[in-house]
Structure formats: C-alpha cells, structure tokens
C-alpha cells in the first residue's frame, strides 16, 4: 500500500512490532517488558506498578518546561478473537497484517489496533524531537478489555498530569466525552449426569460464522448472538423431541458478541433425520431474520459416531439450563433520553460452557445510568437464583459523565476546526473507557477520547483506516503545541 504520510509509516512499523508480541488480556507481561526496555533504550524514565501498568515520562520541549504534564493513555491488551478455522496461536504467533485498499486488517484474527495503535502513536511522538509539547506521561494500562483491571488498580500518584488524552475511540473527527459504566455477572450451576436411554445417540448442533463485534459499540445493530441462536434452535428441538443436553459452549470474551456456539445433545437415533430437517428449516428462518447483519450464518446438526466419553445431563438439569439461557436478557434494554441515538442500558450474554460438572455463564451489563446498571444486574442475578444457580457480580466500573464546558474539549474543537476546516462531532458512547475510572482517581482531571477510524473491533473483521492515522497524528501534534 502506498502510504504518503511519513509518520503513518513510522506508527505502523512500530505497531507491527507491537503486534508480534503476545498481549491477550491478562497476559501483558511481554508487552510490558518490551515497553520498559524501549524506554530504557531511548533514555526515557519509566516505571511499572504492582499490576503491570506502565508510565513513560518524556521531558518538555524547549519553552514548555513550566507547562503541566499531559497524559497520553491507551491499554496494552487486546481482545484475542479468531475465525473458527484459523490455526493462529495468540500465545506465540505474531498478528499477520493484510492491507485491503484503504484499510489494514489481520489474517483471520482481531487486529489489535484496539488499542495497540495508541501505544504506537504515543511512542513515535515521544521520540520526535521536532515537536513542541509539554511534559508527557505515556500511560499504558493492562487488562482493559476484561474489566478495566489496570485502571481500577491505578494509584492516584502514579501519574502527575491533569490533562488526559485517551486514544481509544474509533472514529477520526469524533471526540468522546462520556461513556457507560459496566458490571459483569458470573452464573454457576452444578449439573448432574445419567446414562443415556437405550437407542439414544449423540449429535452436535452448531451455530456459527456470525458477525460478532463489540458488545458496546455494536449492541444496537441487532447482530446475532450465537448463544441465543443456538438456544433457540435447541428450544425448538425440545418442543418436538426428547433431547438431553450433554455439553454446551459459546463465546470467548465478556465484551464480544458471541460468533460461534455448539451443543452436544443425546437424541433417539430414529429421530435424528427429523432433527436434521428441523435444524435446516430453522437455519433458513434465522438467515432471513438476520440477513442484513449476519449473511454468513451457519446452523447444522451432525451425528457423532463417538460420544467422547460424554453422558447426558439428567432431564431436569437439561431443561433448567435451556430455560435459563433463553430467559437471560441480551441486547438493548433502554435508549438514552438525554442524548438522541445513544444506547443507555444493555446486556451481552457473553459466554457459556460446562466444565467440572458445572455450568458457567458470563453476562456483561452496561449503562450510562448507574442505578439502571445495578437494576439490570439484579434482574440477571434473580433469574439465576430462580434456576437454582449461584450468581456473583463484580463491582464494575463507573460511567463517565460528559462535561460539555470542558476547557480541553473547547481547545480540541478549535484545533480540529483549524486543521480540517470543519467541526468535530462530540458524543458519549455506550462502550466502556478508562477515563471514568482515572478521573475518579485524579481530582480535576480534564479528559477527552479520540482515535483513528476503526471498524468491527473485538472480531476477526477488525480493521483500521490507514489515512485516519495521519489525521490523528496531525491533530495531536497541534493540540500539544497549543497546550503551553
């Protein structure tokens, strides 16, 4: 690809180096070590806290020594999603870049531009001696994607700056000034097995090849949730045949809409042909239902010649699990009455599996109104209890309430208008950002979030618009220059 913007080339070169380092959520040790080594090599002060967050300090350019420090912030970890047929091993394989016209994506995996591109932008900026800027603190947090753990563990004195530039938004020309809060709930139910009745065989029902996506960014688009689709198929089969659930699995991350799910069921061998037809008919129904969002959806039933040592659950547990999974909410629960078009409250039925004789379900709730976040969480907990399951919800993270009178926002709008000749769009988002947590820890922090244009994060269709990287670079350069 012919990249004209010189700094875009430098940023992408560094991003490719970053993408060769394993950095799935909760496994940021190697990327953290790389950042510290990089800082030492380039003569920059750096430190790591007890959970692995890293801050790298960059001295002010001449004339800016008396200016307050500016924090440029992103997170080290990425959502590790891949297609069902990808052999990629996130623990050791580098992300393979694929250029597609104006876009950069990965080969059958998430790209990790969410949020590796923030690291690359900040690091290239730190080494550019031609730039005019105040003292900089490059703050790179861990485990943002699975609960904002790094930001939650951040001590108030780890950074000094009172201006925060969060480079984790996904539309160039858009300034984010607010976000939803969130909580996760983990549901656990002990299950019991019995011998299969005479004449019963095992079949695997699959629901896959769905679009998936970010459970905050894409939740309002009514994309299919593979777990929901699978359970609806199983409920249809259950209405017409004696089926016994043996195993079920779907979803990989709390903040990703599940793309693939499967269940092993025991059925009478004489009914399998009928079950195959029901599944095929149901697939046709779903493909019409989701033709705009999930055109590649596939649903199938395959007879398993070997049971792999599996036994069916007893009838009561089998029915209880399917009832609970169909009863749990998924999708938009309420739209904002304050900002038109903004999702206020939602839930993602994120993952399900059976392990060690226990059903484990994870749901992820979001809301910009904390009282409604708690109410939705209580509803999910109540449904779990009614099914005889245990439910434990995390403390979650706070929403970030917009401040439309922010001096930083005014400065950003002015700089953007000067560079582009047009007004930036200002919005709040339904996804979670670390700004709300960091702002709670640093009183008086003025914050804004922006970034290059990114599509389909948290899915193998993730891609970044290459030209937008240079535009964000130019904006950051002028913004820092103006903060004297």
Q: Answer yes or no: are the C-beta atoms of 220 and 330 closer than 8 Å.
A: no
Residues of the chain with pLDDT under 70: none
CA distance 37 to 114: 22
Q: Answer yes or no: are the C-beta atoms of 77 and 144 closer than 8 Å.
A: yes
Q: Strand 343-355 to strand 331-335: parallel, antiparallel, or no bridges (unpaired)? A: antiparallel
Q: Strand 70-75 to strand 136-141: parallel, antiparallel, or no bridges (unpaired)? A: parallel
Q: Answer yes or no: are the C-beta atoms of 109 and 88 closer than 8 Å.
A: yes
The pTM is what?
Answer: 0.80
H or E stretch covering 152? helix 149-153
Q: How much is the pLDDT for 454?
A: 97
Q: How many CB atoms lie within 10 A of CB 273?
A: 10
Q: Answer yes or no: are the C-beta atoms of 137 and 159 closer than 8 Å.
A: yes
Q: How much is the pLDDT for 19?
A: 98
CATH 3.30.360.10 fits 6-180+399-482, yes or no: no
Q: Strand 136-141 to strand 331-335: parallel, antiparallel, or no bridges (unpaired)? A: unpaired
Q: Strand 425-429 to strand 174-179: parallel, antiparallel, or no bridges (unpaired)? A: parallel
Q: How much is the pLDDT for 396?
A: 86
Q: How much is the pLDDT for 432?
A: 84
For the chain, residues classed under CATH 3.40.630.10 are 6-180+399-482
Q: Among residues 389, 350, 352, 345, which one has the least CA distance to residue 262? A: 352
CA distance 184 to 414: 38
Q: How much is the pLDDT for 395?
A: 86
Write out pLDDT tens, residues 390-448: 999 998 888 998 899 999 999 999 999 999 999 999 999 998 899 989 998 888 999 99
Q: Answer yes or no: are the C-beta atoms of 81 and 252 closer than 8 Å.
A: yes
Annotated catalytic residues are 77, 144
Write out pLDDT tens, residues 173-203: 999 999 999 999 999 999 999 999 999 999 9
Which CATH entry fits the domain spanning 192-343: 2.60.40.290, 3.30.70.360, 1.20.1050.10, 3.30.70.2470? 3.30.70.360
For the chain, residues classed under CATH 3.30.70.360 are 192-343
Q: Among residues 151, 181, 173, which one has the least CA distance to residue 164? A: 151
- Token pair for 446: 């003025």
Q: How much is the pLDDT for 147?
A: 77
Side-by-side strand order, sheet with 446-449: 45-48, 54-58, 136-141, 70-75, 163-166, 446-449, 174-179, 425-429
Write out pLDDT tens, residues 343-360: 999 999 999 999 999 999
Which residue's structure tokens are 């649903």?
A: 299
Q: Strand 331-335 to strand 425-429: parallel, antiparallel, or no bridges (unpaired)? A: unpaired
CA distances (Å), origin 212, targets 88, 169, 217, 234: 19, 19, 11, 20
CA distance 204 to 454: 36
- Token pair for 379: 């509803």
Q: How much is the pLDDT for 156?
A: 86
Q: How much is the pLDDT for 2?
A: 84
CA distance 300 to 194: 26
DSSP 456-471: STTSTT-EEEHHHHHH
Q: How much is the pLDDT for 425?
A: 96
Please measure the distance between the N-terminal and C-terminal CA atoms of the chain and give it in whole angstroms: 37
């Amino acid at each position: 690809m012919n990249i004209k913007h010189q700094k875009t080339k430098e940023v992408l070169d560094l991003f490719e180096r970053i993408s060769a380092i394993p950095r799935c959520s909760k496994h940021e040790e190697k990327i953290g070590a790389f950042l510290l080594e990089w800082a030492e090599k380039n003569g920059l002060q750096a430190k790591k806290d007890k959970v692995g967050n890293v801050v790298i300090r960059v001295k002010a350019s001449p004339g800016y020594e008396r200016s307050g420090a500016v924090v440029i912030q992103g997170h080290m970890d990425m959502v590790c999603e891949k297609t069902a047929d990808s052999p990629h091993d996130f623990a050791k394989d580098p992300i393979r870049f694929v250029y597609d016209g104006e876009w950069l994506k990965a080969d059958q995996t998430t790209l990790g531009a969410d949020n590796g591109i923030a690291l690359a932008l900040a690091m290239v900026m730190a080494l550019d001696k031609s730039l005019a800027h105040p003292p900089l603190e490059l703050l790179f947090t861990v485990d943002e994607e699975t609960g904002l753990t790094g930001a939650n563990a951040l001590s108030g004195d780890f950074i000094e700056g009172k201006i925060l530039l969060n480079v984790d938004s996904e539309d160039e020309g858009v300034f984010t000034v607010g976000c939803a809060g969130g909580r996760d709930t983990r549901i656990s139910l002990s299950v019991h097995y019995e011998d299969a009745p005479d004449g019963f065989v095992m079949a695997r029902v699959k629901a896959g090849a769905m679009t998936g996506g970010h459970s905050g960014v894409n939740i309002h688009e009514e994309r299919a949730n593979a777990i929901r689709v699978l359970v609806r198929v199983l409920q249809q089969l259950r209405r017409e045949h004696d089926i016994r659930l043996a195993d079920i699995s779907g979803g990989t991350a709390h903040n990703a809409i599940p793309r693939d799910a499967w269940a092993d069921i025991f059925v009478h061998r004489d009914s399998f042909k009928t079950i195959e037809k029901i599944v095929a008919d149901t697939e046709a129904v779903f493909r019409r239902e989701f033709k705009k969002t999930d055109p590649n959806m596939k649903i199938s039933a395959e007879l398993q010649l070997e049971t792999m040592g599996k036994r069916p659950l007893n009838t009561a547990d089998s029915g209880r699990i399917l009832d609970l999974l169909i009863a749990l909410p998924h999708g938009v629960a309420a739209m904002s009455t304050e900002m038109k078009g903004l999702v206020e409250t939602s839930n993602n039925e994120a993952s399900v599996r059976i392990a060690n004789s226990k059903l484990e379900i994870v749901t992820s709730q979001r809301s910009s109104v904390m009282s409604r976040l708690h109410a939705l969480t209580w509803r999910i907990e109540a449904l779990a209890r009614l099914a005889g399951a245990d439910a434990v919800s995390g403390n979650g993270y706070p929403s970030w309430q917009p401040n439309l009178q922010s001096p930083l926002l005014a400065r950003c709008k002015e700089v953007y208008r000067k560079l582009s000749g047009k007004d930036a769009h200002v919005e709040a988002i339904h996804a979670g950002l670390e700004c709300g947590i960091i702002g709670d820890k640093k009183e008086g922090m003025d914050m804004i979030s922006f970034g290059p244009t990114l599509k389909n994060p948290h899915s193998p269709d993730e891609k970044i618009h290459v030209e937008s990287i240079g535009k964000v670079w130019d904006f950051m350069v002028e913004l820092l220059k103006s903060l004297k």
